Structure 1
Amino acid sequence: MRLRQRHGCLWLAGGLLASVAHADNAPTQSDFGGVGLWQTPTARMAEEGEAALTASHVEPYDRYNVSLQPLPWLEAIFRYTAVSNRLYGPEALSGGQSYKDKSIDVKLRLWTESRYLPDLSIGARDIGGTGLFAGEYVVMSKRFGPFDASLGMGWGYVGGRGDIKNPLSIISHTFDVRPASHEGAGKFSGNRYFRGPTALFGGIDYQTPWDWLVLKAEYDGNDYRHEPQHNNQQQRSPINVGAVFRPNRNMDLSVALERGDTVMFGLTLHTNLAQNTGPAKLLDPAPPKRSAAPASPEQVDWAEVARALRDNAGIQVSSITRRGSEVIVKGEQEDYFYSAKGVGRAARVLDNALGPGVDWFTVVAQQEGLATTETSVNRQRFAQLLDHDITLSEFRQSVEQNAPTPRHEELLYRAPVKRVEQSFALTYQQNLGGPDAFLLYQIAATYNIDFHFTRNLWWSAVVSADLIDNYDKFKYDAPSDLPRVRTDVRKYITSSTVTLPIFQFTGTRQLGQDLYGMAYAGMLESMFGGVGGEVLYRPFGERWAIGSNINWVKQRGYDQDFSFRSYKVVTGHVTGYFDLGYKDVLVAISAGRYLAGDWGATLDVSREFRNGVRMGAYATKTNVSAEQFGEGSFDKGIYLSIPFDLMLPRSTRASASFVWDPLIRDGGAMLSRRYSLYSLTSDRDLDNFNSNLDKIAE
C-alpha cells in the first residue's frame, strides 16, 4: 500500500464490467496475465488502452494478474501468486496463510506483422520482484486465417526445460550460466537476463466459427523440475490444451489441461479504457436553448448570468469583464471533465444574455485563485457550428487559446467568494499480499470541508471514521534499518477509529505570467505535519515545466490527531515535467531528499488517453543500499487513474486511482502533499481541450 489515493479499486472493477468498448476476437490472456496461450506468451498485444483482470488456478498456484496496454507496443503486468502448498512464514507470524509472491512483467513489440513477417516481441517476467518466476523470452506470431501460430525461445522460468544451449554464448561464455536468484531482493538483476540454458515454446490459437469460443494448444518451455522453493511438479506431457469461452465482450472463462494431468481454471474481465466514452449524462442539465437577447452589457443582470454559468456551464464565477467587443468570464470549472464542454455551455449562456455588439466570448480557467488559460470563441462561428453550417475543423480555426495577461478591462460583475465547500464520501483502502492476510481492507466514511478566506487562501480538513475493516489481523511491523517514516503504517491505521488525516492551511499566488507559488502548513497527510512551499514555472504553449518544493515536517502521533512524535526532517524535490509529444506520454523526474533523510531521484512515466484515463509506472532509487532498504531493494510501482466521468450519468471532474506497489518501505518515501501546482495548472495542457473539441457543442 502506498500513501496515494487507494479507494479506486471498486470503481475500477465496475468500470471494467460497465464498458462495452472491446473488439471481437481480441487476444486472450495467459495464466500469468498478458496476451498469450496458457503458460507461454505470444508476440501479440492487446488493443491500445486495454486493461484486464485475470485470476487463474492450476495446482499449486493461484495467480491474480492486472494487465495494462498503455502503448500499442508496450504491455505491463503486475501479479500476485499464491503458492498453496508453501507457508508464508513461521506460524507465529502468518498462521496457515500460503506463501505470496509479487512480480512485475513487461513485454515490448519490436515490429508488427506484415504480409511475410510475423509480429516479434521481447519480454521479461518478474523483473522487479522476488525473482521466483523470473524469465525472459523472444517470441514471434503469424496469423493464418483463424489460426494464430507462435514460436519463441525462453530463458529462466519461461525456458525451464533448459534443453538448448544458449545461442547468446557466441557473444560471451558468461551467457552459459544463470546466476541464482536472491529471493526477496526485488532487484533488476541485469546479470541474470537472458543467461543460462534455453528452451523452445510455442503453440496455436484457433478462433472457431463461433465468436464465443477460442481453442488454444501450446508446447510448454518449462518441465517443472526446477520450481522455486523446491516445489517441483510432475509433468506428464509438455502439451497444454484448452478452451476460452466468451459469454460477452468483457468476460473470458478458461479451462485447460496442463502438465498432462492438471486442470486449470481461469477468469478474465477486460475492457478498453481508452475507447470508453462513459454513459449518457442523463443527470446533466440540458444545454441552454437559444433565445433572442437585445440587452447590452450594461443592461444584463450579471448576477443571474453568473448563476446560469454555475448551474449549466459548471463555472464558479469570480468575475465578468468586458474588453471592447469581448466579454470575459473568469472562474473555476467544477463539473465538466472536458474543458471544451464547459466553454461551449458558457458561450451559450452568454449568447442568450447579450445582444449585438459582442463578438467574442472568453473563458479564463482558474484553479484555487490561479489563472491558467484563456479560451476565446468567436460568437458568429459558434452559432454557425450549432446550426451545422460549418464543420468542427472549420470552427477550430476561430478558437484562440492564450496565457492570461493583465489588461485594461471594464468590470461588469465581481462574485462574492464561495466560503464553504463540503462533501461526504465512502473510501476504500487495502493492503494486499502481507503476512497477516492476503487482503486487508477498510471502508470508511469521510467528511471533507474547505473554507476559503479569499480565493487564494483556504483551510482544508478531512475527518475519517472507520466503518468496516479486518485490520484487527494487521499485526506485522516490517523490519527497517531506516527511520520509520512509512513502515509504521499499521499503527496509523489501527490506533484510532476516528482520525483527522488532513488539517491544512494553503495559500497560492501567481508570481508571474508563467510562474506560480504555493505555501501550506498544518497536518499535511496521515503521518506528517509541518510547513512547506512550492514554486512552478510552466510556460504557456510549451510541453515542459519545472518546479521545486521544500518542507519541514514532523512525524504525527499514531491517532492522527494533533499530537506529534519526535522525528522531524527537511524534505523536498526539484521536478522536471516533459510531455514527449508522442501519444501524450508524460515523463516526470524528481530529485531531492526523501522522508527518511535519503537522497535520490524518482522517475515517473505515464500515458494519458483522450478520455482522461492515465496508465503509469514509477521507480525511485536513493543513496540507501539495497541491504539497508530491505526487501524490494528500491521503491517502484504501477498505477491507473480513471475519471469518474466515464462511470457516472452526471459529469464530474473527480477520478479514482489504483496504485500497486509491492511493498511498504521507508526508503524513497515522498511527502504525500494534498495539492501540487502541476495539477492545479493542468488546464495549461491544451490536449484535453483540443482532443475533445467536439464536446463544445454538447
Structure 2
Amino acid sequence: MASGVKDALERGRSYAFYCLLSCTSVPAFGAHAVTISTPVRLGDWLADRLATPQARERDIYVTGIQWQSARERTLQQGARQTLLDQIGYLSGPDVPPQAEREGLAALVASRRATGRVVLKRADPRWLQANPSDDPILDSGDAVAIPERPSTVTVLRSDGSLCAVPYVAQAEALYYIRACDSKVSPDWAWIVQPDGVVQKAAVALWNRTPQDPPAPGAWIWAPNRDSGWPESLSIRLAAFFATQGPSGLDDEGHGVAPEHPAPGAAVPQAAQFHARDLPVTASDWGTAGLLQTPTARMNEAGEASVGVSVTSPYTRYNVMLQPLDWLEFGFRYTDISSQRYGPAALSGTQSYKDKSIDFKVRLLKETAIRPALAFGMRDVGGTGLFSGEYFVASKRTGDFDWSLGVGWGYLGARGNIPNPLSVFSDSFKNRPASDVNVSNSGTFSRGYFRGSMSLFGGVQYQTPWAPLILKLEYDGNNYQNEPFHQRFTTRSSFNIGAVYRVTSNIDVTAALERGNRAMLGVTLHGKLSNIGTPKVSDPPPMPVAMPSSAASSSVAPAQAPAANVYDWSATARNLEQQTGFTVQNVYRDGAQLIVVFDQVDAFYLEDKIDRIVTVLNRDAPPDVRAFRITLRSRGLPVTGYAVIRDTWVTNHTRALPPIDRQQAVYTSPPAVVPDEDMHRADVYEGSEKRFYVSVGPAYQQTLGGPNGFVLYQISANAYAEARLRRDTWLAGDFNLGVVDNYDKFTYTAPSNLPRVRTYLREYLTTSRFTMPLLQLTHVGAIGRDQYYSVYGGYLESMFAGVGAEWLYRPWGSSLALGVDVNRVRQRGFRQDFSLRDYSVTTGNVTLYWDTGWNGVRVDLSVGQYLAKDRGATLDISRVFRNGVTIGAYATKTNVTSAQFGEGSFDKGIYVTIPFDALFTRSTGGVAAIRWSPLTRDGGAKLARQFTLYDITDKSNPRNLWFAPPSAAQTGPE
C-alpha cells in the first residue's frame, strides 16, 4: 500500500512538472522564418528569394528549407502534448529514471510546434516543374531558409544534446558512440534535415544498411535497457522532424559543436558501413548453409530456382516465401546411381525423386534470443530424404551462427538419443523409406522417430561483399542413403563459399563429406518487386482547373468553358487513356455517371486518375462529382465516387496533413437513373463484337519415366464473339510446332475412371486441337448475386453444360459459390468427338479474403470428375503488385491405394498479372502451376469463366494494388 501511494505521488509530481513545462510559453526556436502575407506558390517564392544578392552570399541549405503551415501548428501542438503526457505517465519497474524523464520532457517542452510540413523536395525549380507537389502558401504560413549546419545532433535520454561534427558517409552509430562510447542501442531513429524519419538497426545482431545522417540531422538512439518504449521513440522522432535542421541558432546560422568527437574516430566512421545479413540457399534450396538449414528467412515475396550437384545427387530446387515467417517449395532429386525403372519403360534415365519442403519461423531474433525455426523435408513423398528439425540462428555482425537438431536424413549420424522415446519405444526406430510409388505421397508415421543428431555451423560475410564463406557440422553420416547405399566420408564438416555474381545470381562451391565437390547455382529475386514501366501507355493528360474554381492567380491552367460539349470526343479520350470501353455517359443533376465495360487492366488507381483527368477537363463547371461504374462481361461489379474539387486540389498542390481529404471512394456500382427521372443521356457507346488474339503457347510435363522434361511449343489463337454484352462465344485453338512428345509412351495406371491419366493420349493424338469452344451467358440477381449458364467444349478433356451461382456482397470479405455441371469425356483429338464416360460434377465453394497480409482461403466441397467426393483447400497470398503465391490440396473418399502414387492431389502455383510484365496496361494473368503428378482422384473440371474471377473488380482493395514503385511508398 505504501509503495502504491508513493508511486502515485511521484507520478502526480512528475505530471505537474511536465504540465508546468508545456504550459509555459517558450521562445521561438530554429531558423528564422519569413511569414507569408499573400498566397503564392512555394516554388515561385523560393525562386525569387534565392535569387537575391543576400541569399547568394549565404551558404543556403536547400535540404533544410521548411514550409511551416499555420493550420498545421495546432495539430502539432496536440502531438507535442501527447508526447509530454506519455513521458509523464510512464510507470513500472523498467521505466527510465525520474531525472531522465524530467530532462527529456524539459527538452520537448522547450520547443514550439512549428507547423512544418515535409516536402518531397525543396528545390524551387523542381517544385515549379511538379505543381502537384508545390504547395500554395496561405496567409500566415512561414518559410524558413537555413544555412548549412556543420554538425549532427544526438538526443540523449536525459534530454541533453550532443552535437558532433558532420563526417561524410558516417552512419548513425558513429555519432552515437562519439557521444557515449558505452551505449548499446538496438535501434536509432534518424531525423533527416528534410523532415524524413528513418528507423535504423544499429546493433551487431540486426545491423542493416542505412542512409547516413545528413548535416543537421537529429538522432535518437535509446540504450537497449533504457526503458523508453518504441511508441515514445516514434512520437519523439516525429516531433523533432518538425523542428528543422539541428545545429542552428535562432536566425538559422550554424553553430559550433557542443561536444566535438574524437578525431581518431573519423577514419573508422568513413570505412564502416552496415550491411544486410545475406540469406543464401543451401544445397536443398531452403535458406541455410550447405547440407544444413538455418533459422533464417528471406523477405516475403522472394522466390528462388536452383540446382546443386554432389555426386550421386543432382537437386533441382524451387522455393517460395509467401510470408516472412514461412518458406516452402518443391524439389526433384536426380540419383545418378539408380535407374528410374525397367529399360523398356524409361530407358537409361536415372531415378527422379519428388519432394516438398517447408520451414516455419517460430521466434524472431532479439538482442538476447536467437531466431528459432521448425522445418520438414520431403513431406508426403517417398521419404527417401525425409527429415524434421529445429534450428536456431544468432547473428554477431558479419558472422551468423546456427545450431539445430534433426531427425531422419538430417539426424542419421545419431549422436544424441531421441528424447521422445520416454513416451513410447516406437520413437526409438524410424521406419525405412518407401520407394513404392503406390505408397508415396502419404503422411509418414515415421516423423520424429529414430535417433537424432546435432548440426550447425557459421556463415561469414567477408569484407569483399560478393564473397560469403560457410562452415558446417553435418548431422548425416551417409551410411543409410536411399536404395541401401553407403558413402565413404572423410570428414563430418563441410566447407564452402558463395559468390554473388549479381544481386539475383549466386554460385556456390564446396567440399562436402571431406571427399566430394559440390557446385550449385541459384537464381533468386522478389516476385513482389516485379513491375514494368508503362512506356507504351499514352502519356497522362495535365490536370485542368474547372472554370468555377479557377479564380486564383496561382491556379493551374483553366479548362476552356464551352456551351456545347463533344461527349464523343470525351469518350474517345477516355478509351485512349484507359483502354476500357465507354458504354454510357449520363448526367444526373450535379453528378456525371460514366459506365465502362471490358475493364482490361489490373492496376486501377492510375486508370481512375486518367478517367477523372479527362472528365474534369470536359465536364461543365456545375458537375460536382463523378460516378465511375465498372462492368465486367456486362455485370456491374464496382464503382468509384470522385469529389471533383477535392480531387483537383489534391492533384494540383501539396497540402498540409490537416487539409488532406480523400477524393476517391470505392462504392457499389452506380444505379443508372430511370428514363422518367431527371436523367440526361449524353453518350452511348458502340459494342465491340469480335476479339482475336494470336501468340505462342508452351506446355510441359516434368519428372515422368519417358523423360524429365517433355514439352510442346505451339501457336495459339483465341477468338471471342460477343452476341450481347452478357453473352459470348469463346474458342481456343492450338497448333503444335515443336515438341518431344514422340517420347511420351507411358500411360499411368489407375484404379479410378480415367479422367486425367489419359494425359498422354490428349497431348499426342493430334497436332491441331480445340481446347475450348464455349457459349456463356451471365447475369445479376439484384446487387450481390450473379449467375452464369454455359455449354460446349468446356476444356481439353470434357464437354457439356453447366451453371453457376455466386453470392458476393459488395465490400464483403466472404463469398459463396455453387457450380453444377453435366459433362462427357472428349475424344483424344480434342475435336468435336466424344467418348462414352459422363459424370455430374460440381462444388460448393467458400471464398474468404482474410484481410491479413493479403492471404485468401478458398474451401470447396463437392463431387469430382472421377465421381469421388471430397474437399479442396486452397491458401494463397497476394502482394501489392498482384503476384500470388499459393498451394492447394484435395482429399476425397478414395483410399490412398485407390488414388495411386501421391495418395491425394496437391500442388503449388504462382500467378503474375500481365500488368506487371508488359509495357502496356493489360488484364489477365500468367499462371505457373506445379503438381507432383497427374492422377484421377480429386480432379476438378477446368472451368474457364468463373463468376468469382469475372466479378473480381468488386474487391474493395483494387485501388490498393500498385506497381512496385508505388507500392513501396504507399501504405501496406
Is the shorter-chain TM-score for this pair beyond 0.5, marking a shared fold? yes
Q: Which has the larger radius of gyration?
A: 2
Q: Flag structure 2 segments of 5+ consecutive residues without an equivalent.
A: 1-274, 545-557, 674-678
Report how far residue 413 of structure 1 moved: 1.7
Report how far residue 127 of structure 1 moved: 0.6
Match of 1:366, as an amino acid? Answer: R
In 2, distance between residues paired with 1:490 and 1:244? 42
Q: Which residue of structure 1 aligns with residue 32 of structure 2?
A: none
Sequence identity percentage:
49
Does residue 113 of structure 1 match 2:365?
A: yes
Deviations 1:263-307 (A, max 9, x none): 00000010011133x2322111100234554556x8322222222
Match of 1:227 among 481, 501, 520: 481
Q: Superposition pairs for residues 260-659 of structure 1, below 5 Å?
A: 260-276=514-530, 278-290=531-543, 292-294=558-560, 299-332=564-597, 334-390=599-655, 397-404=662-669, 406-408=671-673, 409-659=679-929
Deviations 1:164-190 (A, max 9, x none): 211122333332222233333233425
Describe the shift of the 1:566–1:73 C-alpha distance in structure 2 as closer, same or farther (beyond 3 A). same
Report how far residue 686 of structure 1 moved: 1.8
Does residue 193 of structure 1 match 2:450?
A: no
| Secondary structure in 1 matching 2:303 | strand
In 2, distance between residues paired with 1:221 and 1:327? 70
In 2, distance between residues paired with 1:688 and 1:115? 39
Report how far residue 407 of structure 1 moved: 4.6
Does residue 88 of structure 1 match 2:340?
A: yes
Deviations 1:122-164 (A, max 9, x none): 0001112221111100000000110000000000111111232
In 2, distance between residues paired with 1:581 and 1:208? 41
Q: Which residue of structure 1 aligns with residue 495 of structure 2?
A: 241
| Secondary structure in 1 matching 2:528 | coil
Match of 2:733, as an amino acid? Answer: V
Match of 1:71, as an amino acid? Answer: L
Q: Superposition pairs for residues 125-274 of structure 1, below 5 Å?
A: 125-183=377-435, 184=437, 185-189=439-443, 191-274=445-528
Report how far residue 647 of structure 1 moved: 2.6
**Would the aligned equivalents of 1:26 and 1:46 in 2 still touch at CA under 8 Å?**
no
Match of 1:580, as an amino acid? Answer: T
Q: Superposition pairs for residues 6-155 of structure 1, below 5 Å?
A: 25-155=277-407
| Secondary structure in 2 matching 1:157 | helix
**Would the aligned equivalents of 1:69 and 1:75 in 2 still touch at CA under 8 Å?**
yes
Moved more, 377-386 or 475-484: 377-386
Report how far residue 589 of structure 1 moved: 0.2
- TM-score where L is the length of structure 2: 0.68
Deviations 1:301-355 (A, max 9, x none): 2222222111112221111112221111111354432111111111011112123
Deviations 1:656-688 (A, max 9, x none): 111110010000000001111111111121223
Match of 1:384, as an amino acid? Answer: T
| Secondary structure in 2 matching 1:343 | helix
In 1, distance between residues paired with 2:518 and 2:653? 56
| Secondary structure in 2 matching 1:382 | helix
- TM-score where L is the length of structure 1: 0.94
| Secondary structure in 2 matching 1:602 | strand
**Would the aligned equivalents of 2:442 and 2:903 in 1 still touch at CA under 8 Å?**
no
Match of 2:745, as an amino acid? Answer: K
| Secondary structure in 1 matching 2:410 | coil
Describe the shift of the 1:166–1:642 C-alpha distance in structure 2 as closer, same or farther (beyond 3 A). same
In 1, distance between residues paired with 2:410 and 2:714? 43
| Secondary structure in 1 matching 2:411 | coil
Report how far residue 395 of structure 1 moved: 5.5
Describe the shift of the 1:637–1:396 C-alpha distance in structure 2 as closer, same or farther (beyond 3 A). farther
**Would the aligned equivalents of 2:712 and 2:737 in 1 still touch at CA under 8 Å?**
yes
Match of 1:81, as an amino acid? Answer: T
**Would the aligned equivalents of 1:294 and 1:356 in 2 still touch at CA under 8 Å?**
no
**Would the aligned equivalents of 1:333 and 1:342 in 2 still touch at CA under 8 Å?**
no
Report how far residue 695 of structure 1 moved: 6.4
Describe the shift of the 1:392–1:521 C-alpha distance in structure 2 as closer, same or farther (beyond 3 A). farther
Deviations 1:388-422 (A, max 9, x none): 33379966623221212535243222212210111
In 2, distance between residues paired with 1:214 and 1:645? 36
Moved more, 581-590 or 639-648: 639-648
In 2, distance between residues paired with 1:521 and 1:510? 19
**Would the aligned equivalents of 1:376 and 1:401 in 2 still touch at CA under 8 Å?**
yes
In 2, distance between residues paired with 1:323 and 1:71? 47
Deviations 1:194-253 (A, max 9, x none): 111111100001111111000001111111111111232222111010100011100000
Report how far residue 526 of structure 1 moved: 0.4
**Would the aligned equivalents of 1:139 and 1:153 in 2 still touch at CA under 8 Å?**
yes
Q: Which residue of structure 2 aligns with residue 14 of structure 1?
A: none
After superposition, the CA RMSD in angstroms is: 1.9
In 2, distance between residues paired with 1:48 and 1:305? 43
Match of 1:266, as an amino acid? Answer: G
| Secondary structure in 2 matching 1:158 | helix
**Would the aligned equivalents of 1:375 and 1:402 in 2 still touch at CA under 8 Å?**
yes
In 2, distance between residues paired with 1:92 and 1:589? 42
Q: Which residue of structure 2 aligns with residue 19 of structure 1?
A: none
Residues matched between the structures, number: 674
Describe the shift of the 1:367–1:438 C-alpha distance in structure 2 as closer, same or farther (beyond 3 A). same
Describe the shift of the 1:598–1:240 C-alpha distance in structure 2 as closer, same or farther (beyond 3 A). same
Deviations 1:39-77 (A, max 9, x none): 110001011110011111000011111110000110002
**Would the aligned equivalents of 1:294 and 1:354 in 2 still touch at CA under 8 Å?**
no
Moved more, 603-612 or 281-290: 281-290
Q: Flag structure 1 segments of 5+ consecutive residues without an equivalent.
A: 1-22
In 2, distance between residues paired with 1:548 and 1:391? 50
Match of 1:179, as an amino acid? Answer: P
Match of 1:287, as an amino acid? Answer: P
Report how far residue 24 of structure 1 moved: 5.6
Moved more, 314-323 or 48-57: 314-323
**Would the aligned equivalents of 1:405 and 1:513 in 2 still touch at CA under 8 Å?**
no
In 2, distance between residues paired with 1:366 and 1:166? 62
Deviations 1:3-61 (A, max 9, x none): xxxxxxxxxxxxxxxxxxxx965300011111011011000101111001111100001
In 2, distance between residues paired with 1:601 and 1:475? 32
Describe the shift of the 1:273–1:615 C-alpha distance in structure 2 as closer, same or farther (beyond 3 A). same
